Amino acid sequence: MKKIACPLALLLAASWAQADLEWAYQALEETLISFDDEPKTLPGSPNSYTQAEIDDPFTPPDWFPEDHSPMPEVVARGLDNQVRACSQCHLTSGMGHPESSQLAGLSVGYMLRQMADFRSGARKDRFWMNPISEALPEEYWQTALEYYAALEPIDWVEVIETDTVPKNYVGKGRMRFVHPDGGMEPLGNRILEFPEDPELVHLRHPYSGFEAFAPEGSIERGRGLATTGGLGKTIACNICHGEGLKGLGEVPAIAGMSPLYVVRQLNDIKTGARAGISAALMQATVVNLTEEDIVALAAYLASLDP
């Protein structure tokens, strides 16, 4: 017997297909949460902060100061109330949220190159890093990046394969949350990342990670592309990114990274929004990738241990 596809499913699939990879950039849609003024605390932390302090770009929280070496002033407080503190977005642990990026454990040389590419415009970030790299004098780069390079990346994201996801929205901090009204929607060819614990993430907890919902079969498909190159479609990643994709010299580690960040990077390198001299080495890897391939590679990388 012939199978007849449900017209509604086709329509929904088509509407996601038209959305390109825009979902990975997470522009703010609405703010549905409000906070009280009470000081917030965390078990095991000597500090307390109000939500206003936590969200102030020049006083982000340092919940567990004993866990890390002293932070350079730029990382902890920014510069002269002009340049935001790096830890506001990248956190004191260097793990970042899906809309920013992980810096923990990347080499200083690699990160310096990114700062220079952001400043020259060879690499474009729609939201933050171009103005930040322009405003922060170069003499501050090295120490800020050394702090992050010395941190160990932690297991940050759990990948769950599924066809449907809770209805959701991009809210405060350009983060995606489950919608309070409930309901489900088809995932389509997307990866959606939700905080494991929204309350802790609102406090900028340095160790509170994410759950990523990815299409059924994407991890296996990504593994095939990443390990064999998919019959010439791309190039096996370990040739440059090293054993376990944990980085090789100044080629960055990509195992265990936020899948949204990876989707943006592969797409940006493909479209030319990220076109630094070293990113050119990635061109041959991305040029023939479809949007499904990009999603599959991101799901696979996120499923690996950092």
Minimum CB distance to ligand HEC, residue 12 (Å): 27
Give the up-direction half-sphere exposure of residue 1: CA atoms within 13 A in the CB hemisphere: 3
Q: Using the minimum distance from each CB to ligand HEC, give the nearer residue, 265 or 303.
A: 265
Give the up-direction half-sphere exposure of residue 200: CA atoms within 13 A in the CB hemisphere: 15
Q: Using the minimum distance from each CB to ligand HEC, give the nearer residue, 185 or 291.
A: 291
Minimum CB distance to ligand HEC, residue 11 (Å): 31
Q: Using the minimum distance from each CB to ligand HEC, give the nearer residue, 102 or 208.
A: 102
Minimum CB distance to ligand HEC, residue 294 (Å): 9
Q: Using the minimum distance from each CB to ligand HEC, give the nearer residue, 12 or 142.
A: 142
Q: Using the minimum distance from each CB to ligand HEC, give the nearer residue, 46 or 121.
A: 121
Minimum CB distance to ligand HEC, residue 191 (Å): 13
Query: Where does this chain bind ligand HEC (CB under 6 A)?
Result: 74, 83-84, 86, 88-90, 99-101, 103, 106, 110-111, 113-115, 125, 127-129, 132, 136, 144-145, 225-226, 234-235, 237, 239-241, 251-252, 254, 261-262, 264-266, 276, 278-279, 281-282, 285, 297
Q: Using the minimum distance from each CB to ligand HEC, give the nearer residue, 111 or 170.
A: 111
Minimum CB distance to ligand HEC, residue 188 (Å): 21
29 contact partners, CB below 8 Å, separation of at least 6: 169, 170, 171
Q: Using the minimum distance from each CB to ligand HEC, give the nearer residue, 20 or 163.
A: 20
Longest dimension (CA), the chain: 71
d(CA 99, CA 218): 21
Minimum CB distance to ligand HEC, residue 121 (Å): 13
Asked whether 241 and 254 are in contact (CB, 8 A), the reply is yes
Q: Using the minimum distance from each CB to ligand HEC, give the nearer residue, 60 or 188.
A: 60
Minimum CB distance to ligand HEC, residue 13 (Å): 25
Handedness of CA 126, 247, 109, 95 (dihedral sign): positive
Which two structure tokens, joined as six digits, stand for 20?
């390109």
d(CA 271, CA 113): 20
Minimum CB distance to ligand HEC, residue 266 (Å): 6
Q: Is 244 left (phi over 0), alpha (psi -120 to 50) or beta?
A: left
213 contact partners, CB below 8 Å, separation of at least 6: 160, 161, 162, 165, 187, 191, 192, 193, 194
d(CA 51, CA 203): 7
In terms of Cα–Cα distance, which of 133, 3, 146, 165 is closest to 69? 146
d(CA 295, CA 299): 6
